[in-house]
Amino acid sequence: MMFRDIGFGKPVKLIVGGLHGNEGIVTEHILREILNRVHRVKLRGRLILCNLTKKEKYISTLCATYYQTDAGKRLLSLIRNYKPEIYIELHSYGKKAYSKLTHPRRKEFFGVPPLVDLEDGILLGSISPHIRTSEFRNHDLCLTLEIPKDLNGDTERKVIKILTLAITSHSQFVFLEKLREMYPSQIRIAEKDFYEYFNGIKPFGGSIKCQL
């Protein structure tokens, strides 16, 4: 398991990968790239980087049983210990899963809204409903980033750019605003889907319409 705890204070940013299956091979690579850059960029607050596993049984985070696996328990204890304001789950997917993850009727089939393609197959969405409302506060920003397993250099740079924005942002609100500037139409769709799905979560503060 790769684990790093860097910086101090608020906001707390938790970026986790390797949640299940062999996704940890790709996600650890990304997390190490972030680690290499963290001293060159201005980190605001505290950053926790963790790759939970490299090879593990695949149980979807949409299944409640995931949170009873070793990786799932470790994930819950990280969230409970650090109480992050920015939480990013890094996943990776094979080409064949693309249509399943982005399918307009994903909600009918899998009970959750489709992920939104930011660009190059970098998919964005909220996190599992099993943890979004029970483990996080409404105003925390919780994202899933699904990245293609066969990541090329150009796409990898884009993923790292997104994560670097998270690291350098003063708050979850600033980070969300930067995402909106970078991917306006995609974030609009993701926010709308999120708001419809988690309609119990109310906007936090004046200018923030909603949180993913």
Among 13, 91, 106, 132, binds Zn ion (CB under 5 A): 91
- The values of phi and psi at residue 5, to 5°, are -125, 110
Token pair 């599992």 in the structure block, residue: 128
Shortest Å, Cβ 55 to Zn ion: 13
* CA dist list (Å): 13 to 101, 119, 167, 172, 192: 25, 23, 7, 9, 24
Shortest Å, Cβ 132 to Zn ion: 16
Shortest Å, Cβ 23 to Zn ion: 5
| Contact range with Zn ion by CB under 5 A, out of 36-44, 49-57, 89-97, 136-144 | 89-97
Size of the site for Zn ion (CB under 5 A): 1
Query: Cβ closer to Zn ion: 46 or 91?
Result: 91
- The values of phi and psi at residue 198, to 5°, are -100, 60
Query: Cβ closer to Zn ion: 48 or 52?
Result: 52
**Which DSSP category does 169 fall into?**
-
Query: Cβ closer to Zn ion: 22 or 171?
Result: 22
Burial of 148: CB neighbours in 10 Å, binned 0-12, 13-18, 19+: buried
d(CA 107, CA 103): 9
* CA dist list (Å): 100 to 77, 113, 170: 30, 11, 35
Contacts to Zn ion from residues 140-199, by CB under 5 A:
none
Query: Cβ closer to Zn ion: 17 or 45?
Result: 17
Query: Cβ closer to Zn ion: 117 or 177?
Result: 117
Shortest Å, Cβ 199 to Zn ion: 25
Judged by phi (left if over 0) then psi (alpha if -120 to 50, else beta), residue 168 lies in alpha
Cβ-proximal residue to Zn ion, closest one: 91
| Contact range with Zn ion by CB under 5 A, out of 1-9, 83-91, 114-122, 176-184 | 83-91
- The values of phi and psi at residue 90, to 5°, are -95, 125
Query: Cβ closer to Zn ion: 89 or 135?
Result: 89
| Contact range with Zn ion by CB under 5 A, out of 35-43, 85-93, 105-113, 190-198 | 85-93
Token pair 């995402």 in the structure block, residue: 179
| Contact range with Zn ion by CB under 5 A, out of 27-35, 45-53, 84-92, 181-189 | 84-92
d(CA 138, CA 203): 8
Where does this chain bind Zn ion (CB under 5 A)?
91
